[in-house]
Amino acid sequence: MDPIRVLVVDDSVVVRKIVTDVLSADPAIEVVGTAVNGRIALAKVEQLEPDLVTMDIEMPEMNGIEAVRAIRAGRNRVPIIMFSTLTERGAAATLDALSGGANDYVTKPANVGSVAQSMESVREQLIPKIKGLTGRPPGPARVAAPLPPPRPPAPRPAVKQPAVLVIGSSTGGPEALARVLPQLPASFPLPVLVVQHMPPVFTRQFAQRLDRLCTLRVVEAADGSPVTPGTVHLAPGDHHLTVRATARGPVTTLTQGPPENFCRPAVDPLFRSAVDVFDGAVLGLVLTGMGSDGRQGAGRIREAGGAVVVQDQATSVVWGMPGAVAQAGFADEVLPLDRVAEAVTRRSGARAGVPAAVAATAGGRR
């Protein structure tokens, strides 16, 4: 198998060398070029036709966000991974880049600590994402067997009318959520809880962005909030989001228990808790993402009489999470992204409503 051809874009000599040295040490990856700003990167994308681009955000002449938008304006679909800082400003810029067409992000090496620590951080974060976004196996290079078709759902008792919607997503999830959630009508009858794999700071800003797009209220989840229709609770970075029963009704719970599926927040704890609290009357949705987080929880939902919808392979940035659910036979429907909101609304029993984009134009909630 040919190596994955990567273009590294960063105005820092030190960062370019760290990233280049780390990637070049992996036999499955070849660094075919570097660029010091977005303008040069545009030319090299055309010239070198890389399989993937790593992109810094703040650069002279043309920054990373502008470069991403320019690449996508030319209808080039090369996967792009942003380097981000874990700050308010870095989170805002990264979310801008994702909405502009970037596929994922990793933490930029800090200017503290040793070079060896920086290299290990890049190796652990970046290489799995490069391989995931280019469809390569994470282990030693080998020819992957073709995926079998998704298993049909296993026979089971009648599906319960859902009392809650739980959603899991990861790589590509911010853009997918920004397309699905605004299409849920103001009359949507279920409370909504979402786990998107994201670090702290990012989740707060992402919740605020979604809130501006949706007719439903979107908040970063807090501990002990009532779980009621009309509100979408987004798991905060570094905390598992679950739901528990109280005398006054279901409420959110935040914990820092051990990561599951290498993630915190993780999808499986949310799905399991929803099954327990709502006696299986759960509608699960699994969108694009790397790995298999959500597969075990989706199985629990179906065993308890709930239903599960997953995004299809063609419209997923990475068909890891939804693919794992579908391959296990836990999906009631496997749908392209533009049909997901309709299926969720139909299964919820909601009346047809006005999507957020229309409401905003007509002077809706905001």
Is residue 197 annotated as part of the catalytic site, yes or no?
A: yes
Rounded-to-integer distance, Cα 323 and Cα 147, Å: 10
- Catalytic one of 170, 273, 292, 316: 170
DSSP per-residue string spanning 267-313 = HHHHHHHHHHHTTT-EEEEE-SBSS-TTHHHHHHHHHTT-EEEEE-T
- Counting beta carbons within 10 angstroms of the beta carbon of residue 157, is it exposed (0 to 12), middle (13 to 18) or buried (19 or more)? exposed
Describe the chain by its helix, strand, coil percentages, rounded to 5.
Answer: 35, 20, 45
Taking the C-alpha atoms of residue 344 and residue 364, their distance in angstroms, rounded to an integer, is 22
In the set 10, 51, 56, 293, the catalytic residue is 293
Q: How far is CA 132 from CA 53, 148, 266, 294, in A?
A: 13, 18, 19, 17
Closest CA to 274 of 304, 247, 242, 246: 242
Whether residue 199 has a cis bond before it, omega within 30° of 0:
no
CA dist., res. 68 & res. 247, Å (int): 50
From the list 56, 197, 240, 292, the catalytic residue is: 197
Catalytic annotation on 293? yes
Residue 332 near residue 153 (C-beta atoms within 8 A): yes
H-run or E-run covering 232:
strand 231-234
Active-site positions?
A: 170, 197, 293
